[in-house]
Structure 1
Amino acid sequence: MQHILDAILAGDTAAGDFANLDIPDHYRAATVHKDEVDMFEGLSSKEKDPRKSLHVEDVALPELGPGEALVAVMASAINYNTVWTSIFEPVSTFGFLERYGRLSPLTKRHDLPYHVVGSDLAGVVLKTGPGVTKWQPGTEVVAHCLSVELEDPDGHGDTMLDPQQRIWGFETNFGGLADVALVKANQLMPKPAHLTWEEAASPGLVNCTAYRQLVSKNGGDMKQGDNVLIWGASGGLGGFATQYALNGGATPVCVVSNEEKAAIARSMGAELIINRSEEGYQFWKDEHTQDPKEWKRFGAKIRELTGGEDIDIVFEHPGRETFGASVYVTRKGGTITTCASTSGYMHEYDNRYLWMNLKRIISSHFANYRESWEANRLIAKGKIHPTLSQTYPLAEVGQAALDVHQNAHQGKVGVLCLAPEEGLGVRDHEMRDQHLEAINRFRGV
């Protein structure tokens, strides 16, 4: 891969020269193994260690199909779906690969005894398959993680509704935590010129998810003046939700777990902060019983901050731990949007507070191509900024995933793949200088 890296680092390699580069038949990738899916049996989720299940090894280059592209990956990032894959929860991802493999002889490529993981990338197009006209070899790109077939009518109004919708690198193989990735060409978007490789790779999944969940008409359809409750406001998802609320004229009410995270939220411009550690909320009396008195105390704190107003939109992703409180504190006619359940999938809430007050729960899962493009465009224009806090080399991807698993991180954790060091890939230094403080906001915390 060194000759490919040299061509990228040169900065002036012609498209034709990229097209003629020899692509090795094997490449380095982070994988989990099908014969190890039971390795953590008997352990609690917190005890499962991604360092034991994530392997960095050489794998065979996949066949390039129509409408696809091979991308040299300079950097990627860790998402919760990689953590879930690495601890084989809630199910092994090999079931996803097996089902995908049954669709056609071409998708059979994905059904392997190993799974190359990762749902983010920034890199350079190496080669495209038949039918690809928009992206040429040598183009610097990022990728969103929506994989669709679009052979059914359902997906043509909103591609997230395609019956064959999958998350690349989680429900498909050949993901971004590798030196080469296989993507559908319609996953590609221009790399923001003012960002480094690792910075450009880090927003993808969470930025697009936050955009759909909060801004899009398919999600919260946020408007000016809305009070938006954001759980984990300094995290990967919450850090983008906070930025979108502020940019869109809404008022974020940021829930964080310590003063360091509160400082990050304030640095983005948020003024209404709830530090859960200081307030000591215990929404559950025990494993099976919630405490409505704590919901009320939480709601009273929100009204204290907002001048007596309730929440218009809840940006939900913790799930079981917080969902009852989220439903309770939402105003009459308000909206709870949910995109994940990092604290548990079996949500419980008092339905009286939902139906009698005409509240709505809206599910939101990643984003369609248009929403992803808009979210990336805002990054490229310097309106929204990466939340990258730390970067690991690919050889230490297990530790990077463990950081996220243990919530020992802020924002996003990046991974260098082909890039030999941080700080490379910036093409627009003048624009970068204008936003440097915001770009580095999550670093060093």
Structure 2
Amino acid sequence: MGSRRSVNGWDAVVVGAGLAGLACARDLGAAGLRVRVLEAQDGVGGRMRSDLVDGCVVDRGFQVFNTAYPQVRRRLPLRELRLRPFTPGFLVHTGRRRLRFADPTRAPRQALRGVGGGVAGPRDLAALATLTGRDMLAPAALVRRARDTSTRRALAAAGFSEGFVERFFRPFLSGVFLEEDLATSSRFFHLVWRSMARGTICLPAAGVAAVPELLASALPPGTLALESPVTALTDDGVVVDGGREVAARAVVVASSPTVAAALLPGLPLPPYRTVTTYYHLTPRSPLREPTLVTDVRRRFTNSCVLTEVQPGHAPRGYALVATSVLGADTAGRERTLRDALAECYGTDTGGWELLTARTVAEALPAMEPGLPLSRRSRRAAGRYVCGDHRATGSVQGALASGARAAREVVADLAGA
């Protein structure tokens, strides 16, 4: 690509308006560069989209929003999202009853009551308080430099009993990592646990799509072009929709992993996890509190009554239940899931209406031990890539990857 300003006036084209692409575009614009964002879909957000289905707010896959991420605090006026929190801790169904796990650093009395109720022994409760306090207070740089192993090994080294790991960590973290074996990088686990301890897990009033939409609203007018799929890269920019060329000095590919691999042959990508979320509508809430429910038998990763968190997610007089499972939607799976939910919520689910099911095929990258927490974005002269596959599978990772790509583009164009 040439070193002079393109004939169309664009210093950089960003391919994709997910979190990484929006963060990158915003930082490039703040550096004084003229930026064009090309998005194939009819809205921003990538995997972080919300739909209105029969009057219900349905996210494309169950997602929550963590207020503690540094990139979130830096970029977003949180008040505008109208956030409402989940209960700290969660409920786990053991097969016979629901046990409540309370965060000992936030609700010590509830946590201590759990010792007598068989939730955790004194050893496990002490180890949980120590782990949470250390991750919450330690500098993030220290956590990132720690020796990396699997999460399962790290939990054993922290002094947790195998029974507690199976009752507490494994059901809960399967919904965070989208894998059941606790094989995810312990460094990433500690960073996630740190963010949960320092922040609040919430839902925006308008669904998770409000997050990328708020980021996009800060872009200068004329920056974003929707329904503009990039089909190829050229020496001078990109080709849109198989015909029109858009010239730019630099191109940042911030698209889905599949599209990124097609546009940048040879791009290394980790395996991706798939998750499906089933949305059920019911006249009565099966749980009168905004709390996540997990299942020791791992028939689902988590379930919650969304309308207990955000009442506006369903029409008045109805409750909306979201339940996520690993993998794709298959024949008969929803029927089996209803049986599990009936047991876990202690109610008849036969009359629940299946509103919709949302499968996200590239929901989260696999993050095994040895995971680089950040990768260079530069792939070749004038070509860059960003996304959660270049950092960590989280809102923080996507935003940080976009920010890194912007820094590299600015530095390269300044020296051209």
Q: What TM-score results when the alignment is normalised by the length of structure 2?
A: 0.24
Bigger relative contact order, structure 1 or 2, given CA contacts below 8 A and separation 6+?
2
TM-score norm. by structure 1 comes to 0.23
